Chains A and B, each alone.
Chain A
């Protein structure tokens, strides 16, 4: 059976919708940054959409997500309101972190979206703890932990992988391998070779590599892995090969990558490919896709309007929430 035949039309439509939403959100965020509406660091997820969408669709509402600072895609795929996310990027009181976190630190307790973490590798030990709590309490929750290839060389990666495996904790370590840690190629930073998933062998943790540009392949793998982890078999390591189509952040001149490499990956654009597949398989018509694209534009436009019109945080809030009790 072809991968596309395993999903319902509604599922396929939803995956495409989320990918379009993320792509549009990121493209428009980039514009807003250029206009000075968004400041600080802005890390775009363009090119990697299939991962967040495919993986997060495999979760239950009670499961946990922790991720890195390139976190808009994960937040939107988890169902966070684009208005609250955009408002956070704008530093507004209506943002999902009340304007305290910005682009790199999105949170939503109601969705167990436990945060974007902006210290490379810092979220891995926290994912281990969330999974530990699930096991301790006897729930069937899973912690899905996204991280990039840059985190592979942090000590926290080793510590987290080791402990999770040692204690058989329900963590999915999900490597979004976009081949660059900021401007440094994985070949110049990771001694373990290109079969990165084999790093998990050292921890006796099962692992596999998947195509991060194919939302159906990501989803199928994530579904199998999440359920396997949920059954109490211990952690699992997934490596998705992907590529960010933009710079590391908006400040990136992009001089460290070869054009031929960029073009080869752009040729495999996960949004374009999946859209093409759904048209080819007659899951959706051209008109339906055009309607979804227009809808994504409208939702993001509304998010921008909302963010723009929202108030900045009141100065009275400056010292709130440092401690539970003032």
Chain B
């Protein structure tokens, strides 16, 4: 199977989406500049400025105009350069996009895709290294998609374009250059279906986005110590496939939730809660969590590295849960 990068997978997904004349893109520097992460490089030339729209730095109207265009029957894909900047569009995302179907008694749909970039690890410091996807997953009416691999990025995006509801599609800054197998044949990955990335029998590591790779690396290290970890990739936060997680934990009897976000009020707490609701009698240890250190992200490389969950931290915590 051919290997492509995560960036190339998103680019391919967007090109496919743009075959639909109702689809257009808006965002900051997606056109002439080529996209802040080069995902849309060449798009302006290829599709023209009618469909690839460079906007002012105006996150609220980018999303709001996307909502309006979606209400009017188009399929806008808007890009907010990073998830940190989505805070400037939060009114549009949370108060409007997420509400309009319900509040209008089902009269309106908002088939809007908001693409954005999450995560730390690029030495961009506190205002540019956050993980707010869990905040959006809190909101009924939104769907939150968090691919960890090129395969999922493409397959999930294809499903996203079939949605009639607003979707926050969250790419990870540290994943763009990672590679993975992606078939040439058409496939889709449904929303709301977690994937067991690695089978194991001793404990379940639950993760999403880049933390899937951290969990997989941890599982490899654990294997050398005789601990056989299963790794579950959530792939979407809302809808959340708790059933797959619970089934895994019922099998392994131990769970460790790994997230890049801060733990307090974080999405991992929701996952932990679902596990204890669904597998309480099967647990041989409390549900564990590993998350980002609760500080605004520091710039210095060594501090930043210490703040983000590493395979070593996951291994340490896993061994504690194993009583080892």
Contacts and interface: CB of A to CB of B under 8 A. Distances in A.
Interface in A150-197: 155-156, 159-160, 162-163, 166-167
A217 B104 CA distance: 33
A324 B107 contact: no
Interface string A51-85: 00000000000001010000000000000000000
B102 interface: yes
B289 to A, nearest CB: 28
B96 A122 contact: yes
B101 A160 contact: no
Interface in B78-100: 88, 91-92, 95-96, 100
Given A107-B103, A163-B61, A136 B69 contact: yes
B102 A324 contact: no
Contacts of A323: 101, 141, 143, 164-165
B109 interface: yes
B25 to A, nearest CB: 12
Contacts of A64: 72
A278 interface: no
Interface stretch (A124-132, A266-274, A279-287): A124-132
A125 B92 contact: yes
Contact of A129 (B64, B91, B102, B109): B64
Interface stretch (A12-20, A37-45, A108-116, A228-236): A108-116
Interface string B156-188: 000000011100000000000000000000000
A167 B104 CA distance: 29
B105 A101 contact: yes
Interface residues of A, number: 46
B188 to A, nearest CB: 15
A129 B70 contact: yes
B103 A133 contact: no
Given A122-B64, A156-B91, A109 B108 contact: yes
A56 B74 CA distance: 25
Query: Counting chain A CB atoms within 10 Å of each CB, which of B91, B102, B105, B163 scores highest?
Result: B105
Given A100-B103, A129-B71, A163-B55, A324 B50 contact: no
Query: Counting chain B CB atoms within 10 Å of each CB, which of A95, A97, A99 scores highest?
Result: A97
Interface residues of B, number: 42
Contacts of A35: none
Given A109-B104, A130-B72, A322-B140, A160 B91 contact: no
B56 interface: yes
Contacts of A124: 61, 64
Nearest to A313: B105
A321 interface: yes
A173 to B, nearest CB: 13
A128 B68 contact: yes
B91 to A, nearest CB: 6
A100 B68 contact: no
B144 interface: no
Query: Counting chain A CB atoms within 10 Å of each CB, which of B56, B66, B100, B108 scores highest?
Result: B100
B60 A321 contact: no
Nearest to B72: A133
A155 B63 CA distance: 14
A107 B71 CA distance: 12
B67 interface: yes
B24 interface: yes
A248 interface: no
B246 to A, nearest CB: 21
B102 A321 contact: yes
A126 B91 contact: no
Given A107-B108, A119-B96, A163-B55, A128 B141 contact: no
A124 B165 CA distance: 21
Nearest to B108: A109
B65 A132 contact: yes
A99 B105 CA distance: 8
13 contacts: A64-B72, A95-B105, A96-B105, A115-B104, A122-B91, A122-B92, A122-B95, A130-B71, A133-B69, A159-B58, A163-B58, A320-B106, A321-B105
Interface of A: 64, 66, 95-101, 105, 107-109, 114-115, 117, 119, 122, 124-134, 136-137, 143, 155-156, 159-160, 162-163, 166-167, 320-325
Top 3 nearest A-B pairs (CB, nearest first) are: A129-B68, A125-B64, A98-B105
Interface of B: 24, 50, 53, 55-56, 58, 60-61, 63-74, 76, 88, 91-92, 95-96, 100-109, 140-141, 143, 163-165
